[in-house]
Amino acid sequence: MTSHILPLRILAVTGLALVLSGCYVHKNSAGEIPNDYRKRHPITLKEAEKTVEIFVGSNRGGLTDGQGADVLAFSRLWKRESTGGIIIDVPSGTTNEIAANGALREIRSILVASGVPDHAVSIRPYQTAPNKLATIKLNFSKIVAQAGPCGLWPHDLGPAADPAYQDNRNYWNLGCATQRNLAAMVANPADLVQPRGEDPISTNRRSVVLDKYRKGDATPTTYRNEDRGKLSDIGK
């Protein structure tokens, strides 16, 4: 009788093990926090607005010298980085409405003089609180690089039963500030995706050197008055 019960027990234990293994889902804890900070905090490209505000008082209908320089710099930036036209938000129904419209005419003249087509500029009136100084806002869309947000702590840094601590892995926030600063400092966000096209090489200096080489002359550059940078001859 014992010989018949033993196989049944083995079969029951095997079946129970199969059932329990089907209920267990292996958790890949290594995939929760990538070791590479560039994967935890990737730099992404998106379209955002560039805005410059022009403060206009109620009794002034033109631009100051500094404001004119701001508009000129804005137009140059638009020609380099814009992905669309310029939208100018002008206050309406405010105490400085008349002055703002006078400043608007000067703004448009600066934009046209700097090479911005008139059809690329759109005017959009807006309203604000009566006691708030309404400004003229110049806007255009551009491609920007962003990373973050930083300061997220999904796991404790101290002793814990979490695998991230037991395996001595990088904590989540590590490298976020570096990525965010890099995204803010890059001049052309497209450089993070692909290299720029190569410009034609400058052949002027190369032609001079090769011509000297063919004649058998010395090719190094000779600088005149190369000792003029010395402060003193004392001690020679």
What pLDDT digit, counting tens, does each position of 202-221 carry? 888 888 888 888 988 888 87
Looking at the DSSP bridge assignments, the partners of residue 46 are 144
At residue 61, the pLDDT reads 76
Can you list the alpha helix ranges (DSSP code H) found in 62-215? Answer: 65-81, 97-113, 163-166, 176-185, 204-215
Residue 229 lies in a domain: no
Task: Please give the Cα distance from 113 to 97 (Å, whole number).
Answer: 24
Q: For a pLDDT cut of 70, what percent of the chain falls above it?
A: 80
Residue 9 lies in a domain: no
Is residue 2 scored above 60 in pLDDT?
A: no
pLDDT digit string, tens, across residues 127-165: 987 777 889 999 999 999 999 899 888 877 777 777 767
Residue 228 lies in a domain: no
pLDDT digit string, tens, across residues 20-60: 555 444 444 444 567 888 998 999 999 999 999 999 988 88
Q: Determine which helix (DSSP H) or strand (DSSP E) holds 137, and give its type and residue range.
A: strand 135-146
Task: Please give the Cα distance from 138 to 121 (Å, whole number).
Answer: 10
Residue 139 lies in a domain: yes
Cα separations in angstroms, 71 against 103, 110, 126, 186, 229: 11, 7, 20, 23, 42
Range of the domain at 62: 47-143
Last residue of some domain: 143, 177, 207? 143
Last residue of some domain: 143, 178, 203? 143
The label of the residue with tokens 């011509």 reads: 211
Residue 91 lies in a domain: yes
Is residue 126 domain-shared with residue 172, that is, in the same domain?
A: no
How many folded domains does the chain comprise? 2
pLDDT digit string, tens, across residues 64-80: 999 999 999 999 999 99
pTM of this prediction? 0.62
Is residue 38 domain-shared with residue 155, that is, in the same domain?
A: yes
For the chain, the average pLDDT equals 82
What is the sign, positive or negative, of the torsion defined by CA atoms of 103, 104, 105, 109? positive
Pairing of strands 86-91, 121-126: parallel
Residue 178 lies in a domain: yes
Is residue 83 scored above 70 in pLDDT?
A: yes
Is residue 124 domain-shared with residue 139, that is, in the same domain?
A: yes
Residue 7 lies in a domain: no
